[in-house]
């Protein structure tokens, strides 16, 4: 088996992108692409995963706009290499489901219920009376997304590590039973960035829009949100101020001097907010301009090409899987 590097990563199309999505997910992905120019990379919009805990209309509304977001945020630069494939998960839905079926042999209902991230999601959804079996099946589907391209590297946040562990377990058990078909994917843990809501505690999230800075916000809203963002009294450090400083630093603003003066009791928060607000306006309006220049037709072209490459890769793996399980009896 060739040992070329294959990277697989997904994004759920569940809402408007905010600045924390960019800093926590898109920017690390672009860095990964930059650092792995020789690797084959599959980036997919996880519309089937989205259906585990979102309604079909939401997924339909965001499926293609997310592709446009990602192109405008820098993925466009990497597509011409022929090694980076951007596609929609459902373009190869039947192949993923087929592989998931074989992988299901290596887990039990009880095991699935014990995956930590899932346990929490199931609890929240159960309270709302919505925990469906697809949600419980998530770790198997995620393993199929990864193994179907024979991934060697999967960029994950720390909270996703248990899922990747499950994926490796499936691959190992399959290989033990049928001979080496799958590579064991290695996690590449990305820096655990945690951007807080601009208002109150908790993470910045689309479910609390008043504390989120959206990539679609107009200039006036951005400046207002930053002006009203919670910070700290002179000489005090708070998680909210730290989070604003993190956003600033990630966008290339030098923050050390400001932090020092603030801790020494100087009134510099207003000045800091002004610089941060202006930088954000510039960054977000550049993004919006670039995004508006990308046509729907271009998005479709990207995913037709990406989907075809993903299908080729997935079919190749499924041929090997079927041969290993001796289920290709019609071709004998
Ligand atoms: P979500 O849309 O909430 O599923 O988030 C998608 C991805 O964006 C996450 O997996 C994180 O990588 C990133 N992300 C979302 N919210 C935050 C946040 N508040 N701070 C840092 N990263 C975040």
- Whether the pLDDT of residue 126 is over 70: the answer is no
Return the best residue to mutate from 14, 16, 18, 25 for the ligand 1 pocket (most ligand atoms within 8 A of CB): 25
User: pLDDT value at position 1?
Assistant: 47
User: pLDDT value at position 323?
Assistant: 95
Q: How high does pLDDT run on average in the chain?
A: 93
Tell me whether residue 219 is in a domain: yes
User: 290-295 long-range CB contacts below 8 Å, 24 or more apart?
Assistant: 290/72, 291/68, 291/69, 291/71, 291/72, 294/68, 294/71, 294/72, 294/76
pLDDT per residue over 201-216, tens digit each? Answer: 799 999 899 999 999 9
Across 95-107, average pLDDT: 97
Tell me, yes or no, whether 41 and 145 share the same domain: yes
What does R_g of the chain's alpha carbons equal in angstroms?
22
Across 78-82, average pLDDT: 93
CA 233 from chain center: how many Å?
Answer: 35
Whether the CB of 49 sits within 6 Å of ligand 1: no
Report the separation in Å between the CA atom of 22 and the middle of ligand 1, taken as the mean of its atom positions. 8
Q: pLDDT grade, residue 328 (50/70/90)?
A: confident
User: 250-259 long-range CB contacts below 8 Å, 24 or more apart?
Assistant: 250/23, 250/27, 250/193, 251/276, 251/279, 251/280, 251/283, 252/279, 253/279
User: pLDDT value at position 129?
Assistant: 63
- Report the half-sphere exposure of 315 (CA within 13 A, side-chain side): 7
In whole angstroms, what is the distance from residue 52 CA to residue 49 CA?
Answer: 5
Tell me, yes or no, whether 238 and 179 share the same domain: no
CATH code assigned at 265: 1.10.240.10
Across 30-49, average pLDDT: 95
- Whether the pLDDT of residue 3 is over 80: the answer is no
Return the best residue to mutate from 23, 24, 121 for the ligand 1 pocket (most ligand atoms within 8 A of CB): 24
Tell me, yes or no, whether 317 and 273 share the same domain: no
Report the separation in Å between the CA atom of 25 and the middle of ligand 1, taken as the mean of its atom positions. 6
Across 164-190, average pLDDT: 95
In whole angstroms, what is the distance from residue 164 CA to residue 148 CA?
Answer: 14
Burial 61-83, CB ≥16 within 10 A → b, else e: ebbbbbbbbbbbbbbbebbeeeb
Output 136 or 297, whichever has higher pLDDT: 297
Tell me, yes or no, whether 112 and 145 share the same domain: yes
In the numeric block, which tokens belong to residue 169? 């377990």
- Whether the pLDDT of residue 199 is over 60: the answer is yes
Tell me whether residue 330 is in a domain: no
Across 101-117, average pLDDT: 89
CATH code assigned at 305: 3.40.50.620
Domain of residue 137 covers 6-193+295-324
pLDDT per residue over 243-262, tens digit each? Answer: 999 999 999 999 999 999 99
């Amino acid at each position: 088996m060739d040992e070329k590097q294959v990277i697989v990563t997904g994004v759920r199309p569940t809402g408007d992108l905010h600045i924390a999505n960019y800093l926590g997910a898109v920017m690390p992905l672009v860095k990964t692409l930059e650092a792995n120019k020789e690797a084959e990379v599959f980036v997919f919009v996880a519309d089937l995963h989205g259906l585990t805990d979102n309604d079909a209309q939401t997924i339909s509304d965001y499926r293609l706009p997310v592709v446009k977001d990602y192109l405008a945020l820098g993925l466009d630069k990497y597509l011409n290499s022929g090694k980076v494939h951007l596609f929609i998960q459902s373009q190869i839905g039947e192949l993923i489901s087929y592989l998931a079926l074989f992988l299901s042999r290596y887990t039990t209902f009880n095991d699935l219920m014990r995956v930590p991230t899932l346990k929490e999601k199931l609890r929240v959804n159960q309270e709302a009376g919505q925990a469906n079996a697809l949600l419980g099946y998530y770790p198997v589907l995620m393993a199929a997304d990864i193994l179907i391209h024979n991934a060697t590297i999967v960029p994950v946040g720390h909270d996703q590590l248990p899922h990747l562990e499950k994926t490796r377990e499936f691959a190992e058990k399959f290989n033990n039973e049928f001979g080496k078909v799958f590579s064991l994917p290695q996690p590449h843990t990305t820096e655990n960035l945690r951007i807080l809501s601009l208002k109150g505690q908790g993470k910045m999230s689309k479910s609390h829009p008043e504390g989120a800075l959206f990539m679609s916000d107009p200039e006036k809203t951005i400046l207002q949100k930053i002006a009203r963002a919670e910070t700290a009294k002179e000489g005090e450090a708070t998680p909210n101020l730290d989070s604003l400083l993190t956003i600033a630093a990630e966008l290339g603003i030098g923050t050390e001097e400001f932090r020092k003066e603030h801790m020494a009791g100087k009134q510099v928060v207003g000045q800091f907010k002004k610089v941060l607000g202006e930088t954000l306006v510039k960054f977000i309006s550049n993004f919006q301009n670039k995004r508006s220049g990308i046509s729907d037709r271009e998005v479709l072209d990207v995913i037709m090409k990406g989907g075809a490459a993903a299908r080729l890769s997935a079919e190749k793996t499924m041929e090997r899987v079927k041969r290993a399980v001796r289920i290709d009896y019609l071709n004998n």
